[in-house]
Amino acid sequence: MIPLNRRASQSRAGMEYFDARRKPHNVGKVIAALVLTTLCIFVLKQSPGFGGTSVFSRHESGVTHVLVTGGAGYIGSHASLRLLKDNYRVTIVDNLSRGNMGAVKVLQELFPQPGKLQFIYADLGDQKAVNKIFAENAFDAVMHFAAVAYVGESTMEPLRYYHNITSNTLLILEAMASHGVKTLIYSSTCATYGEPEKMPITEATPQLPINPYGKAKKMAEDIILDFSRTKKAEMAVMILRYFNVIGSDPEGRLGEAPRPELREHGRISGACFDAALGIIPGLKVKGTDYPTTDGTCIRDYIDVTDLVDAHVKALNKAEPSKVGIYNVGTGRGRSVKEFVDACKKATGVNIKIDYLSRRPGDYAEVYSDPTKINTELNWTAQYTDLKKSLSVAWRWQKSHPHGYGTN
């Protein structure tokens, strides 16, 4: 028999011999674990939210972060789509009073990558909410679309328009100033010109608005211009005064979907489509006694795809301590009767037309001279065929008869 202490000794010796053989293998495991841990930490650091911060909250070289107010609306959503396609980082802020969460969801599905797009539900009339948004996000520029925008409605609810357009723009400017955001692309309107004596309208045409919508936008412009002239502002400002917007995304991803209760105040294109779909019995043309060729209003219809292209070009050309003011239109006026004829052809429906008296606050004729924007921003309207623009929009309307709610 082997003594107990000798057997124990042999046992320890055997264990030591066994461990000695496995040591290199264990070292390899440790090294592999360290490499894996390091890799995990690196990946975590690259992910949004590591350390409690989001990529949206810090500036990043080579990435321009744009705040798009009203980005759930008709024009704002199309502008967001273009910015995202062009590799901008986008934050949409909207209270959805006029916008559609469905449009935001389309954008989120198209651009699901982390750090690409975020949506914040907020009212721009809430100063604390606006300051919080600017404090928690590192914006490089603001595209300010958010606004109520119906001429007829503005004559019935003027105080709402002054608050929503003028006051909210002031709050945005104050937040930009407090948080060092220096670039603003402002969505304005040809309604600031009122009813000029001479056509076409240039940027030098006197601004004499005749309805609360145009007046509120003119006041907002004045506030922006006054602030931009101060030395400490160093603002890069672009003000785009655009005309009557039509059309939709050529690839059919987005369209115009006003709330049902606002249809009577909406764009003529929306009313045409509603009549073609049978949602309303016919189209109401308000005013046939204007001093124009056929008695109906004359407008400059600009396709939304061209409009957002002008915004992106303006953003790229914006310079510190400089202000650019541009009309965005085709330079060609079309009568309401011409528009209705084009809509009938685009939809293939013989829409019933009811001719009524004038709408309060409307003006007879307005179309742009786009020479300045052509020359300085190298922008020219490309989608100028009225029937084609309406045909594109009609395809979206047909496939979304209830807007974004039910496809």
Question: Virtual CA dihedral for 8, 9, 15, 21, nearest 10 degrees?
Answer: -160
Question: Can you point out the beta strands (E) in 301-398?
Answer: 301-303, 322-328, 334-335, 353-356
User: What is the token pair recorded at 1?
Assistant: 């028999």
**C-alpha span between 88 and 116 (Å, rounded):** 7
> What span, in angstroms and rounded, lies between the C-alpha atoms of 170 and 223?
7
**Whole-number Å distance between alpha carbons of 59 and 313:** 22
Question: Which is it for the CA torsion 109, 74, 243, 333, positive or negative?
Answer: positive
User: In the structure encoding, which two tokens stand for residue 36, read together?
Assistant: 């894996």
Helices (H), 137-211: 151-156, 158-161, 168-179
Three-state SS at 232: coil
Q: 3-state DSSP call for residue 18?
A: helix
Kind of pairing between the strands at 322-328 and 236-242: parallel
* Tokens 């001719």 -> residue: 355
Judge whether 213 counts as a catalytic residue. yes
Q: β-strands 183-189, 236-242: how paired?
A: parallel
CB 300, CB 332: distance < 8 Å: yes
Number of other residues whose CB lies within 10 A of the CB of residue 167: 17
Determine phi and psi for 241, rounding to 5 degrees.
Answer: -100, 105
Minimal CA–CA distance to 149: which of 191, 104, 183? 191
**Cβ–Cβ under 8 Å, residues 261 and 149:** no
From residue 19, give the alpha-carbon distance in Å to each of 6, 23, 395. 20, 6, 75
Give the C-alpha distances (Å, rounded to integers) separating 165 from 76, 142, 170. 15, 15, 9
User: Annotated catalytic residue: which of 74, 88, 161, 213?
Assistant: 213
- Report the catalytic residues: 213
